[in-house]
Structure 1
Amino acid sequence: MKLEIGNFHVDDIKFGDSTEFNDGVLTINKDEALHVVKEDKHITDADIKIVKPGDQVRLVPVKEAIEPRYRMDGGPLFPGVTGALQQAGDGMTMALKGTSVLVVGKHWGGFQDGLIDMAGEGAKYTYFSQLKNIVLVADTDEEFEKREQQKKNKALRWAGMRLAEYIGRTVSNQDPDEIEEYELDPITKRDTDVDDLPGVVLVMQPQTQMEEDGYNALNYGWNANHMLPTFMNPNEVLDGAMISGSFMPCSSKWSTYDFQNFELIKRLYEEHGKTVNFLGVIMSNLNVALEQKERSAQFVANIASNLGAEAAIVAEEGYGNPDADYIACLVALEDAGVKTVGVSNEATGRDGESQPLVSLDPKADALVSTGNVSELIKLPPMDEVIGELEALARDGLSGGWDDDEELGSSVKEDGSIIMENNAMFCGDGISGWSTKTMKEF
């Protein structure tokens, strides 16, 4: 399986008479783009804006991020979701780099939605402040979930994917600036010099805890809550087999953009044949019942052992209840003789003194932290808010609150905010590009 990603570097984005990409400039016909968005009758109001690094703009509630792409065989960008089911990870896909489609609610937010500042102190907390973003800000008639803390956000998320496909078609007949190649030989057919290196698997635990359809990450369009741990070629992940769900405290989230550009996968590819033998990805799940958690952990360890893995990296999307899945998986792998490193955020409280993970075990002795979700952040007003600032306080965003006996509301009268890092969109960068570091005192 060989995946080629043809990269087109976006230097600027603007609106114009036609949607096209020329000499690094992406031009968007807004009326045509909105027509694509409004193909879903549930979209009642929509606009498209362009924001760039350094703009004095705050976006909230942010629901999803997608990289615009085009599959050269004409197939859907997300097989089984935006079109017919087909193999991902093989062939050529064109990608517009340095940009994303951001989906923002015009009014209502929820536990899984977040905030992005494009400038100032807040910009350092999320990777997406570094991108030139095409912002779809819209509302829907999905009244049944308007005031629900957990929202499926289906109409808005699917509109974002259609918009990303529409923009991706601009490069369908052009030569890319560069081509990234991702190819792994079948495990049993690798050269001796590769076989002699330590075999490493990446275990991914996307958010799949909701029993009801519509909230969880999708694997080729299938609710990943229903799956058992599955071996996948890493190319499939990079090429649209996975899309983000709509259930997760937002700083912990893996957006669809994260799956398309999963940095841990790319780094393992860089090391493949040099320091490690990258065996592939075990796509696991996060569960609710203890028996389910233990079953998944055993499946992961069994797959890793039978692949001949000597080491594993386990990456968890989330915290709290999912910590039990995370630690159970680490322990099962260690018990199987697979040396394992975990990557996750932690929830140590506003004072930093609480237990970082809900579940811990002495065998989980190699953990990488991407930061404390409960750290308080104070940010000044921005010149422009896209979406609705009050959503941060009113709608149960995971890092915001309507009233706190000491701090008051997250949203102040002057437009400044105080919130926990929890609400920063994909701010923990668990996929491999956390902006955080540690200092020794």
Structure 2
Amino acid sequence: MKLEIGNFHVKDIIFGDHTVFENGVLTINKAEALALVHEDEHITEADLVIARPGEEKRIVPVKEAVEPRCRVNSKHDNYFPGVTGGDLYQTGEGRVHALKGCSVLAVGKHWGSFGDGLIDMTGEGAQWSYFSSLVNVCLVADTDEEFERHEQQKKNHALRWAGHRLAEYLGRAVKDAEPEEVETFELPPVIRRGEAVNKLPSVVYVIQTMTQMEEEGYNDLAYGWDLNKSIPTFMHPNEVLDGSLIGGSFMPCSSKWATYDYQNCPTIRSLYKEHGKSLNFLGVITSNLNVSLEQKERSALYVAQIAKSLGADGALLAEQGYGNPDADFTACYVALENAGVKTVGITNECTGRDGRSQPLVSMDEKTDAIVSCGNVSELIELPPMKEVIGELAALGRDGMSGGWDGDEKLGPSVREDGSIIMENNAMFCGDQVIGWARKTVKEF
């Protein structure tokens, strides 16, 4: 499969009479864009706000992030097959155009949930989320989804899907333009590679998608299919980079992966760069995060069988989440090692606010090579921001992971002056096990 991504680097985003990209500036016709958003009758109110790196803006509750893209020379007008309407088709081949350096953020105007997070565009808080480095189009909206209004877990369906449609709309601004650069991602079939490549260590990338909720609407999707209903599957990495996977609305926020993360997965990109040089990149195995122990063991066996059948010498295993998913992570790690596949795990930790809890709920002596992406329980104190995009009260009021309404020692997460105290848990996609992580380990 051969995928070409034509990149257009966005330096700024403004509002104007037409939606167009010129000289590094994306101009958005706000009225036209909001009309598209309101095509969903469940959106009751909506606005667009631009948040640029360095601006004194705090965005919360953030529910989803998507990179604007479109397909070129294709009969398919929808970028996310199985999700945003149109045809269901395979991704990962052909030409797409992407607006780089920006994202569409779906932001709640009033209500947050366990899977929502916070982004600071400047100051100390900016270092905790990759999205502070992007020019963000914030879709700030509310819906009539009353059935989940006061639930800690929310599907956030109308707002997240509006973000996907808006990203497609913005992406079409560069459909017929000439990109500044074209990246090519191509891997031949596993059994049709040259002798020199086959002599290199063979590596597979295992990603544990969020699939814990048995009710549909919360989990990660593949081509629109709820991955709770799936078993571990071998995928071409191009499919992941090209809109086949959609981030869910369940995982504690610092641990989850947005759709933007899948579209730009840094680990896949790094493996591509080393393919044919230091390793033979076989592809991607999507695994599961399940509820029962039997389900976890079954998925682990499937992953190990696929990796072994492919002839993998090694695996990179990335966990989305912590707590219950640690059992899936450990089971998968051990199964791979038992199959003779040398494995390196990538995950975060949950040590509790006092730092005394076991970092992973489940551990094994064979899980002896783990890269840590940080502690979800680490306390963060941040000063007020001049502008809040969304509603700051959601951090403490609505059960957002990492925030609280009150604490005997620490008080409320949101203080009267607009300053906040919270756990790293609440930073939007902050731990970035998928590969963006800026954190490191220090010895004392």
Under a length normalisation based on structure 2, what TM-score does the superposition of the two structures give? Answer: 0.99
Q: Please state whether the residue corresponding to 2:113 is helix, strand or coil.
A: coil
- Structural mapping, 1:22-421, within 5 Å: 22-72=22-72, 73-75=74-76, 76-83=78-85, 84-421=87-424
The separation in 1 between residues aligned to 2:60 and 2:13, in whole angstroms, is 21
**Partner amino acid, structure 1, of 2:7:** N
The separation in 1 between residues aligned to 2:377 and 2:121, in whole angstroms, is 22
Would you say 1:434 and 2:420 are equivalent positions? no
The separation in 2 between residues aligned to 1:85 and 1:225, in whole angstroms, is 20
- Residue 350 of structure 1 deviates from its aligned partner by 1.6
Q: Please state whether the residue corresponding to 1:89 is helix, strand or coil.
A: coil
Q: Deviations over 1:44-77 (max 9, x none)?
A: 0000011100000001000000000001114221
**Partner amino acid, structure 2, of 1:122:** G
The separation in 1 between residues aligned to 2:279 and 2:353, in whole angstroms, is 39
Q: Please state whether the residue corresponding to 1:278 is helix, strand or coil.
A: strand
The separation in 2 between residues aligned to 1:269 and 1:349, in whole angstroms, is 36
- Residue 178 of structure 1 deviates from its aligned partner by 0.4
Q: Please state whether the residue corresponding to 1:351 is helix, strand or coil.
A: coil
The separation in 2 between residues aligned to 1:149 and 1:258, in whole angstroms, is 24
- Residue 349 of structure 1 deviates from its aligned partner by 1.3
Give the gaps of 5 or more residues in structure 2. none
Q: Please state whether the residue corresponding to 1:187 is helix, strand or coil.
A: coil
**Partner amino acid, structure 1, of 2:28:** I
Q: Deviations over 1:360-389 (max 9, x none)?
A: 000000000000000000000000001110
- Residue 274 of structure 1 deviates from its aligned partner by 0.4
The separation in 1 between residues aligned to 2:129 and 2:11, in whole angstroms, is 20
**Partner amino acid, structure 2, of 1:79:** P
The separation in 2 between residues aligned to 1:320 and 1:5, in whole angstroms, is 36
Runs of 4+ in 1 over 2 A off after TM superposition: none
Q: Which stretch of the first structure deviates more once superposed, 350-359 or 88-97?
A: 350-359
Q: Deviations over 1:82-107 (max 9, x none)?
A: 12210100001100000000010000
The separation in 2 between residues aligned to 1:285 and 1:71, in whole angstroms, is 29
Q: Deviations over 1:325-345 (max 9, x none)?
A: 000000000000000000010
The separation in 2 between residues aligned to 1:353 and 1:341, in whole angstroms, is 25
Q: Please state whether the residue corresponding to 2:433 is helix, strand or coil.
A: coil
The separation in 2 between residues aligned to 1:178 and 1:30, in whole angstroms, is 28
Give the gaps of 5 or more residues in structure 1. none
- Residue 354 of structure 1 deviates from its aligned partner by 1.6
- Residue 435 of structure 1 deviates from its aligned partner by 1.5
- Residue 170 of structure 1 deviates from its aligned partner by 0.3
The separation in 2 between residues aligned to 1:158 and 1:254, in whole angstroms, is 16
Q: Deviations over 1:155-209 (max 9, x none)?
A: 0000000100000000011010001110001111100000000000000101100
The separation in 2 between residues aligned to 1:143 and 1:273, in whole angstroms, is 53
The separation in 2 between residues aligned to 1:298 and 1:42, in whole angstroms, is 42
The separation in 2 between residues aligned to 1:387 and 1:74, in whole angstroms, is 37
- Residue 352 of structure 1 deviates from its aligned partner by 2.2
The separation in 2 between residues aligned to 1:298 and 1:250, in whole angstroms, is 28
The separation in 2 between residues aligned to 1:96 and 1:273, in whole angstroms, is 29
Identity of aligned residues (%): 69
Q: Please state whether the residue corresponding to 2:364 is helix, strand or coil.
A: coil
**Partner amino acid, structure 1, of 2:176:** N
- Residue 269 of structure 1 deviates from its aligned partner by 0.3
The separation in 2 between residues aligned to 1:421 and 1:108, in whole angstroms, is 20
The separation in 2 between residues aligned to 1:333 and 1:194, in whole angstroms, is 22
The separation in 2 between residues aligned to 1:66 and 1:397, in whole angstroms, is 21
Under a length normalisation based on structure 1, what TM-score does the superposition of the two structures give? Answer: 0.99
**Partner amino acid, structure 1, of 2:388:** V
**Partner amino acid, structure 1, of 2:159:** L
The separation in 2 between residues aligned to 1:74 and 1:41, in whole angstroms, is 28
**Partner amino acid, structure 2, of 1:17:** D
**Partner amino acid, structure 2, of 1:230:** T
Q: Please state whether the residue corresponding to 2:412 is helix, strand or coil.
A: coil
